[in-house]
């Protein structure tokens, strides 16, 4: 069994979707090994998104991450299943842009935003959930967020 990291973002909490999203994971056969409500600090969120900040060429991106996450609550999860847990979780959550996500995915069912609108408004897209994109990222993100 392998595990992966999932973060339910502030917009999921604000819309009271945490229990529904967790139920989606459970109904898909995933086990929640750890669950924690966490208030986000600047150092952790910058460490979490460091590669994305370096890759994304939008001038407002780092500032919007800080505005969207620092001093906000998130729910962090360690999700366990078979060897393909990372890819299976990413399939379940759907494409980054909720408008393009499969209707059966978490973002497709519960998403209420559009990437192009978010970019035109100079903000992050509200897409409810983050999931690790590789086994290596999962290990790093689990260690970062579940540190004592």
User: At 16, is the secondary structure helix, strand, or coil?
Assistant: coil
Residue 143 tokens, joined: 């260690």
Integer CA distances (angstroms), 127 to 6, 88, 123, 124, 138, in order: 13, 18, 12, 9, 19
Active site residues: 130
Residue 71: Cβ within 10 Å count: 11
């Amino acid at each position: 069994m392998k595990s992966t990291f999932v973060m339910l973002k502030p917009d999921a909490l604000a819309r009271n979707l945490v229990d529904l999203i967790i139920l989606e994971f459970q109904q898909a056969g995933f086990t929640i090994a750890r669950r924690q409500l966490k208030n986000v600090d600047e150092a952790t969120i910058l460490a979490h998104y460091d590669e994305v900040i370096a890759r994304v060429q939008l001038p407002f991106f780092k500032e919007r991450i800080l505005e969207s996450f620092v001093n906000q609550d998130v729910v962090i999860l360690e999700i366990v299943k078979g060897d393909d847990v990372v890819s299976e979780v990413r399939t379940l959550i759907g494409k980054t842009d909720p408008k393009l996500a499969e209707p059966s995915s978490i973002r497709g069912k519960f998403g209420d935003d559009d990437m192009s609108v978010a970019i035109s408004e100079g903000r992050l897209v509200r897409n409810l959930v983050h999931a690790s994109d590789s086994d290596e990222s999962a290990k790093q993100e689990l260690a970062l967020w579940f540190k004592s």
